[in-house]
Amino acid sequence: MLKSGRENIVFLGTELFAPGNFNFLLLAAVVTIELSLIAIAAGSIIGLIFGLIRTVQSRILIVPKIIVIFYVESFRRVPLLVLILLSFFAIAVSGFEVSAFFVGSIAISIYAGAYMTENIRAGIEAIRPQQWDAAKALGMTVFQQLYYIIFPQAMRIIIPPSTGFFLGLIKDTSLISVIEVVEITYAAHIIRYKTAESFSVFAAAFFLYFVICYPLSKLGSYLERRLRVHD
C-alpha cells in the first residue's frame, strides 16, 4: 500500500518487485503456460479422434459413438472447478501418489476434449454431403477424403470457436489453484498474503494473463484471414 513518512515514500508495488516475489510470479506464469499447452494439445487430440468417431458412418463405430456422446454430454455440463476437485479427491481415495499438477492437467484436458469434440464434429458436419460423394466418386479412401477434401474446408469453421475456447481455457487454468498448483492466480495470492499488497500483485497477474493470451488471439485471427483468402 502507499505509505508516507517524513521524506520517505514507498510506492504501490514496491514489495512485488522485491527479490524473489516477481520471479516467483514469473515461474508461476510458466506453470500456467505448461498447463495451457498440455490442455490445448490433449484436448485437440481427444477432440479430433472423438470428433471423427461422431461423424464417420460405420457400423463398427456404433458403440464407440454412444460412449463418445455420453462423454461429451457429461463433461460439457459439469463446471470445470467441480471436475478438478472430483479428479483430485478420486486420486486421493485411490491411494495413488501423483502431483497436483498432474491431476489438474488431466482434469482440464478431459474438459477441453469434450468441447473440442463438438467443435470438430460441427465443423465436419457443416461440409455439404456432395463433397463426400464427389470424393468417393474419385475413389478416395475415408482418410484421403478427410485429409484432402473435408478438413481443409472444415478448418474455416473449426478455428474461430476453438480459438475463443482456448483463450477461455488459459484463463480457466486459474481454477487449478484450488488444489494448490502454483500457477499465476495462486502465486498472486501467496505474494499478496506475504506483502499485504493487493492491487499491484493482481495487476501484475492481469498483465501476465494478457501477455499469454494476446498472441493466441492474434494467431487465431491470422489463421482465419489466411483461410478466407484461400476460400
Give the pLDDT score at 229.
55
Give the pLDDT score at 110.
97
Predicted model pTM: 0.87
- Going by C-alpha positions, the residue among 173, 174, 160, 175 that lies closest to residue 219 is 160
What is the tens place of the pLDDT at every residue in 118-137?
999 999 999 888 888 888 88
CA–CA separation, 50 and 121 (whole Å): 8
Residue 149 per-residue DSSP state:
I
| Per-domain boundaries in the chain | 3-229
C-alpha separations of 57 from 117, 179, 230 in Å: 16, 41, 29
CA–CA separation, 107 and 105 (whole Å): 6
The whole-number mean pLDDT for each consecutive block of 10 residues of the chain, a chain of 231 residues, reads 36 60 91 97 96 88 93 95 95 89 96 96 89 83 84 90 95 95 94 87 94 94 77 57
Q: What is the CATH number of domain 3-229?
A: 1.10.3720.10
CB 181 within 8 A of CB 14: no
What is the tens place of the pLDDT at every residue in 67-76?
999 999 999 9
**Which is it for the CA torsion 44, 50, 52, 55, positive or negative?**
negative
Give the pLDDT score at 137.
84
Cell of 140: 478416395
10 Å Cβ neighbour count for 99? Answer: 11
CA–CA separation, 189 and 19 (whole Å): 17
Give the pLDDT score at 38.
97
Give the pLDDT score at 90.
93
Give the pLDDT score at 52.
92
